[in-house]
Each structure stands twice: as structure tokens, then as C-alpha cells.
Amino acid sequence: MNMYTCPHCYDEVPHGASVCRGCQAEISYGGPRYLSIVIFIVAALSGAKVLEFTSPTVAFTAMVIIFAVGAALTHKLFKNRVRFKRRYNT
């Protein structure tokens, strides 16, 4: 099992945990959330461009394929990314 060290309290945290046991920092895995929106916009614009030259069915298929490839690449690139986020009350 993978263990991560919290950068805030230096406690060991197992993979899959959503909160650090030591300092209650939130833990997120994978790529940034905005990246899926960017991939969707790129796929939609690409589908619209393909629509100029072909039928709507082909354009929709191209959009779905571009989105699926983008999502798969994002998952592969960010599969080991772990982010600890903690709010400090002052």
C-alpha cells in the first residue's frame, strides 16, 4: 500500500484517504478539475470544425473520440498526483 507524507504535519497517510489524520487536510487525487472542462471545450470545438466538412454523426463521433482520448491522457499523466489542501484559521 502506498503511503504519503502530509506536507503540513508530516504524518503518514495511506493511499485512498480523503483527509489527513494528523491535521485534517483534504486530500485529492488526479488532475486538476478544470482540465476536464478544457478537454470538453477542445472536443466540442473540434467537433464543430469537423461538422463543416461532414455529417453530424461523424462530427459527434469525432467529438466523443477526442474527449475520450483527452480524458485517458489526463488520467495517465496525473495518476500519481496527490494534493494536500489545508485551510489555516487565523
3-state secondary structure of 30: coil
CA distance 58 to 38: 22
pLDDT digits (tens, 9 = 90+) for 10-37: 999 998 899 999 899 999 988 888 898 9
Spatial distance between the Cα atoms of 2 and 80, rounded to a whole number of angstroms: 10
- Its pTM stands at 0.69
- Residues 57 and 65: their CA atoms lie apart, in Å, by 12
The length of the chain is 90
CA pair distance 28, 42, nearest whole angstrom: 25
